[in-house]
Amino acid sequence: MAEEEEKPFKPPCKADAFDAVGLYPELDKDFTKFLQRTTFDSQSEESLIRPMPLPGPQDWLSRFPTDPESFEKWESREERNEVVVGKNTIYILPIGEFSEQTRVEEHATGKHSGVTDPFLAELLEYAEIFFFGLPIKMLPRVPVESLNATTRNYEVARGVKRDQLQTKEIFLFLLHMLPRDAYCVLAITMMDLYPDRRWNFVFGQASTRDRIGVFSFARNHPDFFSAGKVVSLDKLSEVSVLAKQLMTWRSCNILTHEITHMFGLEHCVYFSCLMNGRNHEEESDRSGSFLCPVCLHKMQHAIGFDFVARYKTMLAFYESRLATVDEDSTEEDRYKKCYNWLQKALKLIQECQT
């Protein structure tokens, strides 16, 4: 990350956070109650939604102070890219090798049938649930050579060098291939990225105006910082089930965080939220997988999903994943945490309905 001067950040007070959720009379009654409850409960230990912690010196907000963006402010943004019929498909474009067996073919009937790589299939399935109701398509994989992108071999840790791909040429490529019915196109890669020579790396970069973005999962790989190890998803077979699960969980979070930016959402400063800015892995893990009440309202407004059906489908997703993990899996089990969170959320919704 680039060096920037440190400036203090003060989290918004409870009243401001509550106002920012934007509870309008036309909102669904149960949804209003749920947003209200999660906002008010956010100070309690047992709450679903946690307040925004004071940023540490290495955290995003200490490095890049961000203005709060309430629901109202977001909704009134003129340049916001609205979801309209015929221009509502989210495209995901894999760049380079993910694993030896990575072969993505776009199938005439769309959806999963063409995605043979289990990691990519998982990302696709998760995105379909997160952006509930919008079509999501995985495009055929593009080899790195086709991009004519500038690359460099950079020391990412003492004695560990990784190939990095400059984002500029990827952006040009995406601009030219943007499908007619695309809401946005997001490129994903297992190569590390950098925007220009002044930076050591970026997790990802996007242009919401152009509806394109690229991001890398390289740094989620358990062997990324290990000298002599190859960063390929094939090598994941050598690591534990939990390490694999953690990598996939982190990648799903990056994917949904970056795509959510396309809906005009800035980094969230109200609560601990998927949309918090993230400067390092620990901060990223802390922000979790779920949207806070402010961001959830924005996304519900943009897509128009049924928030209960969405949470139920998410719960079923985690339930099926948990079946693949040992029964005695520990607290480290991210899927279990997400599953428990969703169960709690659905219980709260039930309370709101009575």
Residues 277-316, one symbol each (x = binds Zn ion by CB under 5 A, - = not), give ---------------x-xx---------------------
Distance of alpha carbon 20 from alpha carbon 168, whole angstroms: 35
Do 213 and 258 touch, CB atoms closer than 8 A?
Answer: yes
Q: Give the distance between the most distant pair of CA atoms in the chain.
A: 60
269, HSE (Cβ side, Cα atoms, 13 Å) = 20
Check binding of 191 to Zn ion (CB under 5 A): no
Does residue 174 touch Zn ion according to CB under 5 A?
A: no
From 15-23, 57-65, 87-95, 268-276, span contacting Zn ion (CB under 5 A): 268-276
> How far does CA 118 lie from the centroid of its chain?
18
CB of 49 to Zn ion, least distance (A): 9
H-run or E-run covering 40: helix 29-40
**Residue 52 is a binding residue for Zn ion (CB under 5 A):** no
State the nearest-atom distance from the C-beta of 261 to Zn ion, in Å: 6
**Smallest distance, Zn ion to C-beta of residue 4, A:** 16
Is residue 186 at the binding interface for Zn ion, with CB under 5 A as the rule?
no
Terminal Cα distance for the chain, rounded: 48
258 is catalytic: yes
Q: Please, what is the minimum distance in Å from the beta carbon of residue 41 to Zn ion?
A: 15
Q: Binding to Zn ion by residue 268, rule CB under 5 A?
A: yes
Instruction: Give the span between the Cα atoms of 294 and 298, in whole angstroms.
Output: 7
- Site membership for Zn ion, residue 262 (CB under 5 A): no
Query: Would you count residue 273 as binding Zn ion (CB under 5 A)?
Result: yes
The correct pick among 52, 275, 308, 314 for binding Zn ion (CB under 5 A) is 275
CB closer to Zn ion, 291 vs 349 = 291
Burial class (CB in 10 A: 0-12, 13-18, 19+), 48: buried
Q: Residue 233 contacts by C-beta under 8 Å, 6 or more apart in sequence? A: 98, 99, 102, 117, 119, 190, 221
Q: Which of 258, 282, 283, 319 is catalytic?
A: 258
Q: Which is nearer to Zn ion, 149 or 295 (CB)?
A: 295
Q: One symbol per residue from 3 to 42: x for binding Zn ion (CB under 5 A), - otherwise; what is it?
A: ----------------------------------------
Cα–Cα separations (whole angstroms), residue 293 to 25, 200, 236: 16, 34, 35
- Residue 160: how many other CB atoms lie within 10 Å: 15
Cβ atoms of 260 and 275 within 8 Å: the answer is: yes
Shortest gap between Cβ of 340 and Zn ion (angstroms)? 20
Q: Which is nearer to Zn ion, 275 or 302 (CB)?
A: 275
The C-alpha angle 180, 111, 94, rounded to 5 degrees, equals: 70
Between CA 261 and CA 258 the distance in angstroms is 5
- Taking the least distance from each CB to Zn ion, the nearer of 76 and 324 is 76
Provide, rounded to whole angstroms, the least separation between the CB of residue 70 and Zn ion. 11
Can you give the binding site for Zn ion, defined by CB under 5 A?
268, 273, 275, 292, 294-295
Which residues does the annotation mark as catalytic? 258
